[in-house]
Structure 1
Amino acid sequence: MREQHGPLKEQHGHGSRWQQNSRGKQAKPQRYEKQGKQRAHNEQREQREQREQGKPPMISFGNYDLVKRIDVGGMGEVYLAHQRTAFGREVAVKIIRNDLVHDVVARKRFLREAEVNAHLKHEHILSLVEFGEEQGRMFLVTPYISGGTLAQRLERGPMPLSEVHQLFTALVRAVAYIHKRGVVHRDLKPSNILLDYEDGQLNVRLIDFGIASIQGSADNPAPALTQAGHEMATIDYMAPERLDGIAAPSNDIYSLGIILYEMLTGQRPESESERVRLAAPLRYVVEHCTYPHPEDRFHSADQLLNVFEQAYRAVTTPPSASVPTATSQQGQTQTPSTGRYVSDNDVDETPHRMPQLTSLPVVPAVPVAPVVPAPIAPIVASNTQSFNGSDYSDKTTYIGPQHLAGQGQQTATLAPRKPRRRRSLLLVLTLITVAMLFLIGALGYAAFLNSIVATVNIGSQVHTVTEMLTIQAKPGQHSVDSTTSTVPAYIVTSTKTGSQTGNTTGVKCTFLVINCQAAVSFNDIDTLATSIHATLKTQVQQDLTSQEQANGETAVGQVYYSDGNPTSNPSEGTVSSTVTVTLTEQGSVEAIKTQDIQSLARTLLTQKAQQQYGSGYALLDTYTRIGNPVVQSVDASGIVTTQIAVGGVVEYNLSPSVMHSFENAIKGKKQQDASSYLMHQPGIDATTVIVHVSYGDTLPTNINQIHIVPLNPTNIPNVQLPTT
């Protein structure tokens, strides 16, 4: 350990230049010299006491005592350390590697990791304690987690399904959280997932945002720090589109699928033939995470979490009551489906074949004799008049006219009568006259009935409906959903870049104090960057407000700012009397649309009215009152909870179909019966029902002669919005 960190004590530099006095003033050399001597004396005394106690000496690094190195990564070394100003609590200190101290790209990546981690606050993401520069080396400090990494756990083999469910759901929630804030991790792997045993519970902590990407950021490190074809990540967990330089949430979803497979099987996915077969629901989750094309994968981490929960319930749900098995003719037992998901090895893939039919016996043909008509027996009179049993068994014989030839026939002749022509004509004329009179009377009666008209006046019932509704706005939602009472939440971003030129205050001499010239100093750059930062921050805030007003949005929560690194022209140390500093500032804030919430509130108010009074009611636009939404809370996932007061008047809708049904119901009824029927119909104001018949007290039977006139409501109640 002393050999590893010997240079740390020798490089006592002056700390980070960014941590110097903001006014650019240097501390007095005597003060630093005195403090340095006192610190060296204390360190020597501590090391002497540790040697006397048989303990290996700890290395002093700023405010921390480095105990031992616990990990080495691509950009830094991680040490277990004690924080002096926190009563010696254990922390993990990540220090940039000694060979990368002067590597500009490595320093930017290290700074980006600290910057991203500083703006994240989630129970499953390791928080940042401190970031700075000591002895010329950048460092960041996080809580120390002693449970090791997921990679170390997977070296012992696959994990139980319940443990996979506990850890993977927590991991996906952490990824969903960073995605909603525009951050893509891009290096998800088991070695970047810490296991934390706390109060008997196993939990995960996501770490290492060194190559993370911030979507929509003007200073996104992806183009500058990572070029296509030179991607940094572990290839086994890298999404295919990463090779093309694409940074998107689909990168992390692909990595999550590989991690899930490894947790379930204890190994990484190899070729298709060598993969371990999973239960169908779990295989579905893995496949939809790791499809080669991003558009075929889950669209978001929230969708992945939802499907994984369903798959876990499907796999762990116990089977239903057993069903008796059936045995085929061949003696093989066929087991009916239990309704569970099973692996491919449990599925009988033998095709079901139809049994072959045995050939039918051939029936010999029987010759058919020709039909010969039976002889006709002579008709003999029976001696008895009764019907006996032999009559039922006798054959029926056809007797044609030719069989009656020769038999005697008796023909009766009638005497001729005189015609009655005059009496018949008179009867016909009488009948015609009566028919014509009847027809005329019927036509007249029909015309009379058709002249009868019934007029019915009816009015609808009106009611007031008020409600204090709770509506949530969720990030990532694309439309208003009345079933869940949710609307989309939007992320408003603004990026501004500014430059400022000023005189230089530095001095550069050739030989000590000979030939000294004005040069660009760090203080010159820092002073101009501070001035530009304040101006850009105001511009970003104004631009966000303008966007919100133009889109009808209301900001919720605070604005998150992302500061870019200042660039100077000419660079620091260059001989020049002036210097120009350029800085980029980005801000983002979550917002909601008042129109979305008010539109959903109107729909929910209509639904409540129909649930309370019936589906035939509708809101009257003129009397509908909808307040402004009031934000109640914003949780860690960015879900905004609002309350909005709504109220209105609902009226029963007398649609053409409803009035047609009334006409059919009252046709032919007595006037009083028709009035009573209409008064008792739902949605009808009984005080408005008036039935008038032009003749008599019976309504016509033809609905075309019944006219229903809907009346507008006159007594509209006042609407008062509820208050919280």
Structure 2
Amino acid sequence: MLSLEGKQLGNYDVIRRIRVGGMGAVYEGRQRTAFDRRVAIKVILGDYAKDKDMRRRFAREARTIARLHHPHILPLIEFGDEQGILYLVMPFIDGGTLTSYLRRSLPDLGEVSAMYQQLLDAVEYAHENGLIHRDIKSSNVLLELRRNAAPYVYLADFGLVRTMRQNDPSQAGKPIPLEQVPGTPHYMAPEQTRGIVTPLTDIYALGVLLFQMLTGELPYNDPDDVRVIQKHLYDPIPSPCEHDASIPPELGDVVRIAMAKRAEDRYQSVADLRAAFMDAMEGPDETLIERIEPAAPMRSSTILPGSRKTYPLRSEDLAKPLSMPVVVRKSGHLNQSGPSPVVQEWQERPRVTGENTTMRMRPRITEDPLTLRRRKRRLPFQLWFLLILLVTTILLALLIVPRALGVSIFPASVPIIGASPVATVYITAQSQDLQDKYLLTASQQVKMPDPTTHSIPSHTIKGAVDSTTTVPATGIKTTPAVQAHGTIELTNTSNADVQIPANLDLKSATGVHFLVLQGQTLAPHQSASAAVVAIAGGAIGNIAAHALDGTCCANNAVSVKNSLPFIGGIDAQSTHVVQQSDLDAVQNAQSGKLQQQIIQQIQKQLSGDELIAGTPAFDTQVSSSLAVNDAGDQVQVTVKIVGTASVYNRALVEQLAGQILQQKADQTLGQHYHVFIRPAITSAPTVAQVKDGVIYLNVSIKGTWIYTLSQQQMSRWIDPIKGGSVAAAQAYLKSQPGISSVSIHLPFGTSQLPTNADNIKIQLTQQ
């Protein structure tokens, strides 16, 4: 792998490599343009740096992070390309990953709760933005360590993020080879191993992560990734309570439901998971008591920070509160003359689940020992109370009584001494929501979005697959039997003419009958030949020479002889032939699967916000090794499908619809209004039809416009309202164009606005 230490990538100096993976590495760097700020630089190296799909995926990760703005998602500083090396720049988090944190120490339940809630917030935000992380794991959780507080959590690595789309066949999932499944086996939901990815896939990974944070171990662990996946699919869900009895059973139930084998049995949203987690964290009522005891030698049962200890509960202890052993955390030099250690007792109502019940608790460890100080002499409490009561009474008399009597010590516009003299006027500008539906077209003939024609560019993406299958030929062709034929020699041995009739039936020694085809008359002692054919078809008529030798006719006066064998007899035969239905059956069986493969091919070619319009058009061609009606027992059938999809860009749809809605705002609202909430599509565009290469899209878009109020304009309102009453000022301000509401906060103790214009501030607020 190419080493980048000491090199420069854009505005960044590469210092050292932090982590290396199968596709690239993460380096620590310094940002030259930000006073050498520490940053983390993620790069792809080796053959992956030249792979188009990998580069496209890396750029997609950058785009995804750039549009996410959440305090617990690691933000993107910059995305660049330096001499073919793509890199992402993010803040450097020196606390490391959750993986390394769990190796060092096991967090207590308070830390688990704080960190897990931060992680839930990040995943919920991603889901609300239509994103599935697909690779939630401890090494993708970065921690920023803080003093006297739980670590601050960042969710990182959106390289495998998946966009949630309606009617997405690939999201519904079909089985794919194990080596092609994206994600990490130890955190992979059962359906994810089969290529099915939904938001509930992340819920499962969050359940695995909660188990790991509670126990320091993974629920399913094995050196063989295939074995790990089998455990996720078939093994019972382990309970963290089996590893540590101090973990509340309610948390074990949260892990069990989050890691349910079937997605429908899990929490259906991050909000549901958070609610269950918070309920589980409340647990039974517990009381933590701190008291001071004389210093004593540390016992063997002393609990060290980060450790957990088991305490057996005996039956005789049920009548008294349960107390923990002495807990001491070192602070400076501890000796016999030092301050007394803080002792903690954990009291709760014991629960008995058996004769030998074992209870495990996580004691809170006090950071520093309690130091005793001498109290200074103070005034008696009764004297303090009387002084405070007297001062309060005098102030109330000065403030309330004159007002109640209609008199004032000070002018109505003068505040009480010590109070701020500034009156603040809060103005809310008028706003208007605009929403409309538009029919847009997307065509390859359009180069740029055009609000006039309501059109945007589109293009086509093609995919092609083929499949060859060998199937039996199901047609039957029958060939009829063929009669054997031959020639016989007839000799008249008598002294009189003999008539040989046509269709004379002659029988061979084997019982086969033959017919003389043509009759004739034989003179005395004359010989002649005659054509003969077997009555029955088939090879049975193929007789040997002299098989018909004998006599016939006129008292056997004619001798019959076949000097040559009879030939040509063929038995009836049935053979298999190819039928059109054989080819159609293969086409019907393969088309659906091949079309899904083409859709997946096309989806891999999509970039950014591109979407497929409707269903791709498929062109199917079928060829075979034998033609229809050709004889054969089997035939090879090849089905080839070419798919063409019309593709449009969702961002361009929103951009064009926003421009059209802006034109409407200019016409209906006027020039004094400006965009307050940028127009956005309220629901996914629907494809009305795709005809002749043109896509027709129905789009609903909504935005908010607000009246423009300049600071100069608002400053002109101060003189007319100064020194006046609140009601008069509100009436005047509400009469101004573009004002929705007015709220006035006067200085304490006044009933009118200040007479000095400098003491009146007008602020514009949002609704």
Q: TM-score, normalised by structure 2?
A: 0.38
Higher helix share: 1
Q: TM-score, normalised by structure 1?
A: 0.40
